[in-house]
């Protein structure tokens, strides 16, 4: 039987209508949305199911919305007897991974990521920060480009997503200079991203301090499975290590490609992206095409994943 890891998506994977079909078909999914609405004190489920898109795109709404859809899909898989050996989540998705690992209660996680979204938004005035996706430039070269372009401002790799894609973050002018310099030095493409804040760089230090305070108040439980943490690309399996990694990831880079290589080295051959979108499956294809990546976001994809994983469990696949 192949070793399975669940992957949980981060911001950018949201879309109006996400989770609606699962909530209509599975009581445990409906219950998840009801829990989120109660924990937050407003109808998050309506925003997921009906929009409007403008509101769903607000960071402090997006983060709890994606977490809720991801946890709803995970709970359906768990009811069907699909249990992973490992979990990982991209940025915000690391909170979903910790709900799946039993580290955090769902209610605590959904409230915490709403605050996380707000703190990140407030840390840098709109327009002062930026992010850009750089395609086709190795990390070592791009790190030099960032250092050169900074000119006393902040500019650094923020998401090390795959061998082909790294996102940089920092002060808007510095990121623009770095994008231009990357193009001149042979990057295939450099695309400024439509984001509301410069995530995963030192400009978010005020947000990290607030998250450290919030996370210190929460109860972290014994973990049922290890989680590959973004900031170190190492497995965490204790509550204290989990809390520390979640604090540091606010300003630290998301080391996604190293996380995936770590899980592959642990013997994971089958990955399931649990929650909205297929971004992480796309990145995995760029990292290692020999591995299987399924997804679970609606009834069709869920059934396909359950069939595949059930067959794998019995040795038929």
Cα separation values, 48 from 23, 111, 195, 317, Å: 11, 16, 19, 35
Among the listed residues 45, 91, 96, 196, the single catalytic one is: 91
Query: Catalytic residue at 213?
Result: no
Chain-centroid distance, C-alpha 114: 14
Cβ-contact 106, 35 below 8 angstroms: yes
Query: Catalytic residue at 2?
Result: no
Q: In sequence order, which ranges of 43-92 are alpha helices (DSSP H)?
A: 44-50, 53-56, 59-79
The full DSSP string for 244-312 is: HHHHHTTTS-B-HHHHHHHHHHTTEEEEEEESS-SHHHHHHHHH-TTSEEEEESSHHHHHHHHHHHHHH
Cβ-contact 243, 103 below 8 angstroms: no
User: Which strands form 165-171's sheet, in the order they lie side by side?
Assistant: 155-162, 165-171, 129-135, 189-192
Among the listed residues 96, 98, 156, 200, the single catalytic one is: 200
**Annotated catalytic sites, by residue?**
91, 200
């Amino acid at each position: 039987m192949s070793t399975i890891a669940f992957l949980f998506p981060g911001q950018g994977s949201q879309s109006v209508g996400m989770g609606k079909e699962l909530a209509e078909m599975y009581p445990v999914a409906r219950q998840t949305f009801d829990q989120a609405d109660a924990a937050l004190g407003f109808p998050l489920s309506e925003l997921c199911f009906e929009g409007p898109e403008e509101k769903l795109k607000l960071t402090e709404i997006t983060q709890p919305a994606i977490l809720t859809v991801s946890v709803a899909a995970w709970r359906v898989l768990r009811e069907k007897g699909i249990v992973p050996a490992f979990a990982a989540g991209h940025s915000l998705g690391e909170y979903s991974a910790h709900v799946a690992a039993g580290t955090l209660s769902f209610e605590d996680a959904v409230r915490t990521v709403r605050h996380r979204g707000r703190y990140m938004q407030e840390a840098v005035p709109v327009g002062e920060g930026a992010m850009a996706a750089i395609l086709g430039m190795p990390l070592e070269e791009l790190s030099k480009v960032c250092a050169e372009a900074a000119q006393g401002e902040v500019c650094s790799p923020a998401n090390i997503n795959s061998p082909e894609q790294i996102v940089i973050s920092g002060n808007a002018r510095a990121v623009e200079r770095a994008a231009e310099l990357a193009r001149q030095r042979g990057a295939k493409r450099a695309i400024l991203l439509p984001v509301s804040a410069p995530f995963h760089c030192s400009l978010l230090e005020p947000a990290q301090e607030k998250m450290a305070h919030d996370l210190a108040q929460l109860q972290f439980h014994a973990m049922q499975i290890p989680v590959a943490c973004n900031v170190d690309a190492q497995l965490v399996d204790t509550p204290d290590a989990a809390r520390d990694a979640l604090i540091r990831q606010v300003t630290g880079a998301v080391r996604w490609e190293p996380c995936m290589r770590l899980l592959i080295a642990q013997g994971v051959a089958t990955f399931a992206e649990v929650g909205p979108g297929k971004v992480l499956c796309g990145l995995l294809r760029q990292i290692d095409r020999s591995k299987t990546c399924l997804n679970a976001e609606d009834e069709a994809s869920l059934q396909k994943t359950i069939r595949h994983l059930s067959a794998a469990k019995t040795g038929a696949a």
